[in-house]
Amino acid sequence: MARQRGSHIIIVKDGENVTLSIPDHKEVAKGTLRSLIRAAGITVDEFTRLL
């Protein structure tokens, strides 16, 4: 985690120009999650394997 502002966590991927603003909520909407996964440069399958 790079920093947190309000109800969003800001994550920066080292070595790349990728910054994600992730809502810090109990549940994240399906479309929002898919968008964050895509912005992170990984597939949904890769994401689920990381869990």
Structure confidence by residue, pLDDT tens digits, 3-50: 777 788 888 877 777 788 888 888 999 999 999 999 888 999 999 998
CA distance readout (Å), 33 to 15, 39:
23, 10
Q: What pLDDT, on the 0 to 100 scale, is given for residue 27?
A: 92
Terminal alpha carbon distance of the chain: 17
User: What is d(CA 2, CA 31) in angstroms, rounded to the nearest whole number?
Assistant: 23
Residue ranges making up the domain that contains 29:
3-50
Structure tokens at 18: 């990728």
Give the count of domains, the chain. 1
